[in-house]
A and B are shown apart, each in its own frame.
Chain A
Amino acid sequence: MQRRLANVNGWTVSAAIIMILLFLPNITIVTGIFSPSNENWVHMKEFVLGSFIRTSLILISATAILTISIGLSLAWLITQYQFPLRGFLKWALILPLSIPPFIGAYTYHGIVNYTGVIQTTLRDQFDMVLNPAHFDIMNLPGAIFIYTMFLYPYVYTITRVFLSQQSASLIESARMLGKGPWRTFFQVVIPISRVSIIGGASLVVLEVLNDYGVVKYFGIQTFTTAIFQTWFGLGDIESSIKLAASLMGFVIFILVIEKVLRGRRQYSYSTTKVRPLPLIQLKGWKAGLVTTYGLMILSLGFFIPIAQLIDWMILTFGTIPMDEFLTYVKNSVLVAGISATAIIIFALIVGNFSRLVQGKVAKLLPKLSILGYSIPGAVIAVAVVTAFIALDRFLVPLYQMIGITTTLVLSVSLIMLISAYIIRFFAIGYNSIESGYDKIGTDFRDASRLLGVGVTKTFFKVDVPMLKGAIISGFILVFIDILKEIPLTLILRPFNFDTLSTKAFQYASDEKIMEASQASLLIVGISALAIVVFYKFLEKEPD
C-alpha cells in the first residue's frame, strides 16, 4: 500500500473527504430501512407499494422500447444515408433534450385540452365537436408519450456517435456477404450497437424514475410523488425514507439488469484505422419518407411545444413583473453557478487522485461516489435533509455559543440545496473531467515532474490548461441540468426562494399554464443554445 500511495499526499486526503461527503447521505437512507415501521408504512406496503412498482415498470419499459425504436432508427438513417435536410436533422434531432419533460407535459396538455389550439380550431373553423375524452393525455400513455418525445435523444446521440465510429468495412462486409440493408441492420448493426443502445436506454429509464414534474402534473402515482406526499402530506419522514429506500432498491435492480444486458461483450476494433461509412444517396419517395420521419419527430419533440410556448409568452408578456422574473433568473444562475463550480473543482481533485494512485480500491472509490446520478432526486432530497437536520442538532452548542437562538440553521439555508445538487450531479461533471484526464494521459504530468516541478504546481501549470475543454463542457452540462431540476429544488429550497424551474412548475400546477411559458422558454433557450454549441460546433464531423 505504501508503494501504491507514492506521490500522494494532500490530494489523497482532500479526495477522500470529498468522496465520503458525497456518499454519506445515502447511508442515512440505507439505515432508514431498518428503523421500526409505523402505521403509514404498514398501510403503504400492503396497499400501494405494489401499484407503484407496477406503474413504474410500465412507464420505464414502454418508454425504453419507444425511445430505442425512435433513437436507433434515426441514428441509423443519419449515419447510413444521404437525404434532404440530413445535415440539419443530424444535430437538430438532439434539441428535444433541451425541453424538460414537465414543461413538455403541460405544454402538450395546453395544446390538446378543451381550450387548446386543436379543439378550438376544430370547433371554430370546422364546426366539429369531438369527445374531449379522446384528447386526454393526462394518463399513463400520455406520460409515456411525453417521456419518449423528450428523452429519445439520449438513445439517438449515443448510438449515432457509436455507429459513426464504426468502420465501414464491417457494414460493407455484411453487404458483400449478401445481406440487404434490412438484414444488415438487424443482424449486424443492432448486435454491435447493443452496448450503446442499452447505455442510452438506461439513461432514459433513470430519468423517468427521477422525474417528478410529469407524473405529479398528470396525477400518476409513482415512487417520487409518493415520497413527496408522505413527507409533506402526512408529515411522515420515516415512511418517506422507507419509500426512498425502496426506490433506491428498484434503481439498483435496474442497474443490475443493465449490467447483465451489456454482458461482457465490449466490442472493440481490431485495427486502429477506422474508415467512416460512405453515405448512400436516397432518392425519390424513399428520401421524402426519411426526411418526413425526421421532421415529424423533431416537430413533436421541439417545434410544436416551442411554438405553443412562444404564443403563450406573447399573450402573457408583461403580466409577470419584470423585477420578480429577474429574481428567479438571478436565483437560478446563482445556485447553478455555485454548484457547478464546486462540482468541477471536486471532480478535478478526485480525478487527479484516481490518476495518481494505482490499485483496485482507489479506482473503485470514485465510481461509488458517482452513484448519486442514478439515485432519483427525491431520494437524495430525503437523504440530505435527514443528514442536515442531524448536523444541525450536533451543532446546536456552537450556534448557542455564537448567539444564534434557532436550532435549524444549515437545514434551512441554501447550503443544503447546493450540497444536494453536488451529490446528484457530481457524476456529470466527473465523467467529463475524467475523460479529459484520460485523453491527456500521464506523460505530460511525468514530463513536468521530471523537469523539477512538483505535483501541485504541475496540476495548475500543465493539467488545468490542458483540461480546459473538459472543464468548460463539464461546467455547462452540470449548469443546465441544475437549471432544469425539479424535485430536489422543490423540497430543499429555502422558504420563498424560487428558481425559473420551480416557478414554471408552480404556475403550471396552479393551471396558470400561459404564465409558466416565460420561465420555461428561458430554460429551454439556454439549454438549446448549449446543446447547439456542443454538438454542432464542438463535435468534429466524422463524415
Chain B
Amino acid sequence: MFISIQNVCFSYPNTGKPALDQFSMNIEKGEVISILGRSGSGKSTILRLLAGLEKPTEGSLTIQDEVLFDGNTFLQPEKRGIGMVFQDYALFPHMTVGENILFGLFQLKKSDKKKRLQEVLELVELQDYEKRYPHQLSGGQQQRVAIARAIAPNPHLILLDEPFSNLDAELQVKIRKDLREILKKANITSIFVTHDENDAHALADRIVKLKDGCIDLIGRPCDLIGIHPHPVPQVTPMIEERELMSV
C-alpha cells in the first residue's frame, strides 16, 4: 500500500467535540481521492493533519513504509515531502512566478532547478509567465502556479484544499479537466477536499464522503451515483403555496 492512514483522531483545543474521529483509509500510488463534505464536516482538518500543520491526538500515517506520524513520531511539515495547494493559493506576493516555483527546489543544483522550472511551467502551460508577479495573473493562472509550485519538488502526495472555490463557474469546468490531466500526467497521488459533488465526480478515482468527522461513504464515483443516505430536506409544495398566498 502506498499511503496508509489509520485511526486518525483530532479535536481543536478548547472544543469538546472531535473534529475527526477514527479516520482510516488506504491509497494507491497515482490515485486521485476526493473528500466530500459540508463545511464543518472535518474535511480540511484531514489535509492539515496529513500535512503536519496540526498534530493528531491518535492514529498513524505511513507513506511508502515511512512513518510520518504515530504514537512516537511526528515529522515536521517541511520534512514530509507532501505538497499542498491552498484554497487561496498562498502564492508569495513578493516573488515572481518563477521564484515561487523555485522556492521549494533549494536542494537541487542550479542547472537542475532551471530544468525542473521549465518542466512544471510547461505542465501547467504557463511558459511565458515566469517573470510575472502573482497579482498580474488571473485567478485560474494563479491556481496553476500554485499547483506547479506544489508539484515541483516531486512530492509523494499533493493535497488540494477546495481548489475550485475561488473560480467562476465557467472556468471551473475547464480547470477541472485541466487539473485531472496535470495530476495524471505527473502521476502524483493526490487528495482534494470539496463541498461540490460535481467536482468530486468529475475528478476523483475514489470519493470519501465525510459527516461530523466520520467517514459516511467511500467508493468509486460510479458506485456512489444515486446513493443518498441523508437526503436533503425538500420544501414541500404545500408550504410554498401557503407562502405565496400570504404574500
Q: What is A's interface to B at a CB cutoff of 8 Å?
A: 3-4, 6-7, 358-360, 443-444, 446-454, 461-462, 465-466
Query: Does B107 lie at the interface of the complex (its beta carbon under 8 Å from any beta carbon of A)?
Result: yes
Establish whether residues B74 and A359, one from each chain, have CB atoms under 8 Å apart when the complex forms: no
Establish whether residues B88 and A443, one from each chain, have CB atoms under 8 Å apart when the complex forms: yes
Establish whether residues A450 and B51, one from each chain, have CB atoms under 8 Å apart when the complex forms: yes
A206 to B76, CA, bound (A): 45
**Nearest residue in B to A461 (C-beta to C-beta)?**
B103
**Chain B positions within 8 Å of A359 at CB level:** 13-14
Establish whether residues B90 and A452, one from each chain, have CB atoms under 8 Å apart when the complex forms: no
Interface centre among A359, A449, A452 (most CB of B within 10 A): A452
B123 to chain A, nearest CB (A): 17
A451 to chain B, nearest CB (A): 3
Establish whether residues B93 and A7, one from each chain, have CB atoms under 8 Å apart when the complex forms: no
A452 to chain B, nearest CB (A): 5
**Chain A positions within 8 Å of B82 at CB level:** 450
**Chain A positions within 8 Å of B52 at CB level:** 449
**Chain B positions within 8 Å of A454 at CB level:** 76, 78
Query: Does B215 lie at the interface of the complex (its beta carbon under 8 Å from any beta carbon of A)?
Result: no
**Nearest residue in A to B158 (C-beta to C-beta)?**
A450
Establish whether residues B106 and A447, one from each chain, have CB atoms under 8 Å apart when the complex forms: no
Q: Is the interface of B mostly helix, strand, loop or mixed?
A: loop
Q: What 0/1 pattern do residues 8 to 21 of B give for CB contact below 8 A with A? A: 00000110000000
A465 to B90, CA, bound (A): 14
A449 to B86, CA, bound (A): 13
Q: What is B's interface to A at a CB cutoff of 8 Å?
A: 13-14, 51-53, 55, 57, 74, 76-84, 86, 88, 90, 92-94, 103-104, 106-107, 149-150, 153
**Nearest residue in B to A454 (C-beta to C-beta)?**
B78
A99 to B143, CA, bound (A): 50
Establish whether residues A466 and B103, one from each chain, have CB atoms under 8 Å apart when the complex forms: no
A464 to B88, CA, bound (A): 20
**Nearest residue in B to A442 (C-beta to C-beta)?**
B53
A6-B55, A360-B14 are contacts. A451–B94 as well, Cβ < 8 Å? no
A530 to B66, CA, bound (A): 56
Partner of B57 from the list A3, A450, A466 (CB cut-off 8 Å) is A3
**Chain B positions within 8 Å of A453 at CB level:** 78, 103-104, 106
**Chain A positions within 8 Å of B78 at CB level:** 449-454
Partner of A465 from the list B14, B94, B104 (CB cut-off 8 Å) is B94
**Nearest residue in B to A464 (C-beta to C-beta)?**
B94
Establish whether residues A451 and B55, one from each chain, have CB atoms under 8 Å apart when the complex forms: no
Partner of A449 from the list B77, B93, B107 (CB cut-off 8 Å) is B77
B66 to chain A, nearest CB (A): 15
A461 to B149, CA, bound (A): 16
A459 to chain B, nearest CB (A): 13
**Chain B positions within 8 Å of A462 at CB level:** 92
A462-B92, A465-B94 are contacts. A6–B74 as well, Cβ < 8 Å? yes
**Chain A positions within 8 Å of B150 at CB level:** 450-451
Known: A6-B74, A443-B90. 19 other contacts (CB 8 A): A3-B55, A7-B76, A358-B13, A360-B14, A446-B84, A447-B90, A449-B52, A449-B78, A450-B51, A450-B80, A450-B82, A450-B150, A451-B83, A451-B104, A451-B150, A451-B153, A453-B78, A453-B103, A453-B106
Establish whether residues A450 and B83, one from each chain, have CB atoms under 8 Å apart when the complex forms: yes
**Chain B positions within 8 Å of A6 at CB level:** 55, 74
A507 to B32, CA, bound (A): 77
**Chain B positions within 8 Å of A444 at CB level:** 90, 92
A454 to B78, CA, bound (A): 6
Establish whether residues B103 and A449, one from each chain, have CB atoms under 8 Å apart when the complex forms: no
B45 to chain A, nearest CB (A): 14
Establish whether residues B106 and A443, one from each chain, have CB atoms under 8 Å apart when the complex forms: no
A3-B57, A7-B76, A466-B94 are contacts. A452–B107 as well, Cβ < 8 Å? yes
A395 to B150, CA, bound (A): 54
A461 to B14, CA, bound (A): 33
A446 to B78, CA, bound (A): 9
- A sample of 17 cross-chain residue pairs with beta-carbon separation below 8 angstroms, ordered by A number, consists of A4-B13, A6-B74, A444-B90, A444-B92, A446-B77, A446-B84, A446-B86, A447-B84, A450-B51, A450-B77, A450-B84, A450-B150, A451-B78, A452-B81, A453-B78, A453-B103, A462-B92
A507 to B115, CA, bound (A): 69
B51 to chain A, nearest CB (A): 6
Establish whether residues B103 and A446, one from each chain, have CB atoms under 8 Å apart when the complex forms: no
**Chain A positions within 8 Å of B57 at CB level:** 3
Establish whether residues A447 and B13, one from each chain, have CB atoms under 8 Å apart when the complex forms: no
**Chain B positions within 8 Å of A451 at CB level:** 78, 83, 103-104, 149-150, 153
Interface centre among B76, B83, B90 (most CB of A within 10 A): B90
A4-B13, A451-B103, A453-B78 are contacts. A446–B53 as well, Cβ < 8 Å? yes
Establish whether residues A466 and B107, one from each chain, have CB atoms under 8 Å apart when the complex forms: no
